[in-house]
Amino acid sequence: MVLSFISIKKFADEPYSKILGYPKATSRQIRSRINELEKLKIKSISLTGPTTLGNLAILGKGYVGVVVLAKKGSKQVALKIRRTDSPRNEMRNEAVLLKLVNTVNVGPKMFVASKNFLVMEYLEGIKIIEWVNTLKGKGSAKKLKSTVRKILEDCYRLDQIGFDHGELSNISKHVIVGKTKSTLIDFESSSTNRRPSNVTSVTQAIFIGSGIAKKTQKIYKNPPKEKIIKILKQYKQEKSQENFEKLLKILKL
């Protein structure tokens, strides 16, 4: 599908201005944000994605910002726009956290940030819950195991650097599965000051929780919950490579 991109200058006016200043902004704020985008070399935005803002398509929406597909020069990027009612007063802190996870090859690559914007790698894909729904027939167990293992390995690397994502118990919104790569996204609630529980949260969400766990159980037979909980307790006490390998073995990954 060929995407059409709209010049950011057009985002000074309705209905597009709603995206730059969601949920409510003055025309002065919008103009200021357009200037900010020009400094970041963001030329245009494409209204595409699974979420809508009014009747405009976007990539995603959270309590801190809205995410759209944009162009920086000729490169397609994901642009996170700070909401005007956001509890965060700037985007730079999230940029620091994203840079940190990038050091262990986790998350979309962080490119540049300013007060109201975060520019990062655009990863084409679908949310993990939708992806699991597409798995059918021969080879689906192998695909599922491979993807889940990759996500857990990312989580293990975050645990090792003392980084807690913060929202992985609600995995369906925070993991994207693409053709070439699956990745954790959305680090706005992350912290290096909490005890990390990335591996634990994802294991519980995929194998013990209700939504996605019921679907994975149909694709391949999971071990009994008691076994998983027992090894998770061990891993919680000591987040060692040995305990992580034991967990993978019990999960048949």
Predicted confidence at residue 239, as pLDDT, reads: 97
Cis bond leading into 224, ω under 30°? no
Predicted confidence at residue 16, as pLDDT, reads: 95
Around Cβ 227, how many Cβ atoms within 10 Å?
12
Helix (H) or strand (E) run with residue 47 in it: none
Q: What stretches in the chain show pLDDT beneath 50?
A: none
Predicted confidence at residue 180, as pLDDT, reads: 80
Three-state secondary structure call for residue 81: strand
Predicted confidence at residue 221, as pLDDT, reads: 87
Q: What is the DSSP letter of 193?
A: S
Number of separate helices (H) and strands (E) present in the chain: 9, 12
Contact by Cβ (8 Å): 199, 235: yes
Predicted confidence at residue 139, as pLDDT, reads: 85
Predicted confidence at residue 1, as pLDDT, reads: 62
Domain range annotation of the chain: 6-121, 126-250
Predicted confidence at residue 46, as pLDDT, reads: 97
Residue with tokens 């914007």: 117
Predicted confidence at residue 138, as pLDDT, reads: 83
Is domain 6-121 given the CATH code 3.40.1350 in the classification?
Answer: no
Tokens standing for residue 218: 């149909």
Q: For helices 225-237 and 241-250, what crossing angle results, to 10°?
A: 170
Q: What is the DSSP letter of 127?
A: E
- State the pTM of this model: 0.92
Q: What is the sign, positive or negative, of the torsion defined by CA atoms of 161, 163, 164, 168?
A: negative
